[in-house]
Structure 1
Amino acid sequence: MAFFDEWKDKATDLGRAGMAKSKQLMEITRLSLSNSGEEDAIRKAYLEMGKLYYAERGGAPEPAYQALCQRITQAKATIEENKARIAQLKQEGVLSDDDIIQSTAKVEDADVPPEE
C-alpha cells in the first residue's frame, strides 16, 4: 500500500508542477500579446506624429528631418505625375477600367514571394 501512496504523491506533485507551468505559459502569452498591442499603438502614434510634423513643417523642416521630408515630397510628386499619365492614357481610350484593374492585380500578385 505504501507503494501506491508514494506513486499517488508523485503523480500529484507532477500534476501541480504541470499546472504551475501552464499558468506561467498562459501569463507569458497574455503579456506577449499585450506587448504586441502596445507596440502597434506606438507605431500608429509615430506614424501620426510624422504626418503631423510633415503637415506643419514639411516645407521648412529642421535639418535632421530634411532628407525624410524631401523623400516624402518627391514621392508625392511622382504619384501625381503617375496619376496624370494614367488619366492621359484613359482619355486615349486604349484601355478600359476593367483592363487596368486586372493588370494592376497581376502586378500585385507578381510582387508576392512564393510560399516555401
Structure 2
Amino acid sequence: MDIIEKIGGTITEKGKAAADKAKELAAIANLKSQISTCEEVMKKNYLEIGKIYFEQYSDMPEPPFEKQCEAIKNSQRAIADLQEKIDQLKTK
C-alpha cells in the first residue's frame, strides 16, 4: 500500500504543478494582452498627434518634420490623381 500512496502523492504533486503552471501561463497571457491594448492606445494617439500636427503645420513644418510632411502631401496628390483616373474610367 505504501507504493500506491507514493504514486498517488506524486500524481497529486505533478497535477498541482501542472495546474500552477497553467495559471501562470494564463496570467502571463492576460498581462501580454493588456500590454497589447496599451500599445494600441499609444499608437492611436501617436497617429492622432501626427495628424493634428500635419493639419496645423504642414505648410511650414519644423525641420525634423519636413520630409514626412512632403511625403504626405505627395501621397495626397497621388491619391487625388488616382481617384480622378477611377472616376474617368467609371464615366466611359
Output the TM-score relative to the length of structure 2. Answer: 0.89
Aligned to 2:42: 42
How many residues align structurally?
92
Q: Which runs of 5+ in 1 are unaligned?
A: 94-116
| CA RMSD of superposed structures (Å) | 1.3
Shift of 1:6: 1.2
Aligned to 1:112: none
**More helix per residue:** 2
Verify: 1:87 aligned to 2:51, yes or no. no
Map 1:1-116 onto structure 2 (within 5 A).
Answer: 1-91=1-91, 93=92
Aligned to 1:107: none
Provide closer, same or farther for how the CA distance between residues 61 and 5 of structure 1 changes in structure 2, counting only shifts above 3 A. Answer: same
Q: Which runs of 5+ in 2 are unaligned?
A: none
2: CA distance between counterparts of 1:24 and 1:2?
33
Output the TM-score relative to the length of structure 1. Answer: 0.72
SS in 2 for 1:13: helix
Structure with the greater relative contact order (CA < 8 A, sep ≥ 6): 1 or 2?
Answer: 2
Shift of 1:85: 3.0
